[in-house]
Structure 1
Amino acid sequence: MDVSLLVVPYDSARESWSMGAGPARLLAELKPQLGYAGHRCISEVIRLQDPSPTEINSSFALNRQLAEQVRQAHTQGRFPLVLAGNCGHR
């Protein structure tokens, strides 16, 4: 199976902070394991293009980007798997 690992390394609009550090750790463990199991994986890190001063605006911006990446993965016949550091990105 082709898998798109979509990494959203944010917690409370802060990149790689607190739970936002979790997706990178998951990716480091998961990607090789999926490869060993015969899956072809690509990974894409979702980053804020224009950091907003408010958490809610940042969350909406990340979710819009994530939705587009999920659509692209689906269109390309890949299974989208989201690795997120915040419950708002699922």
Structure 2
Amino acid sequence: MSGGHWILVLTLAVAAFSIRLIGLVAGDRIRSSRHAWLLDDLPGLIVVSLVAASLAGQPFQTWVAAAVALAVAVLTNHVIATMCIGVLAYAGLAWAGG
């Protein structure tokens, strides 16, 4: 490998380390501030944003299956049941729709 390659590898290593270090410092500062409640809700917010982004532009049957999965999640609070029934709802709607 040439010198340019090593500089690139070193630069990327420093960048990766810096991102992790900044995340730790920012997390500690948020944890000790009045915005600490954000860290408690962050995992749920990330999941909701990922689901919402994946539903954008999907056909109606996907939205119906997602609504069924949401209803199961609210009623049972059981992840496996939610996934299984959501997949079954999607498969049933796809089979019925053609």
Q: TM-score range by the shorter chain?
A: 0.3 to 0.5
- Larger helix share, 1 or 2: 2
RCO (CA 8 Å, sep 6+): is it higher in 1 or 2? 1
TM-score normalised to the size of structure 2? 0.36
- Larger strand share, 1 or 2: 1
Which protein has the larger Cα radius of gyration, Structure 1 or Structure 2? 2
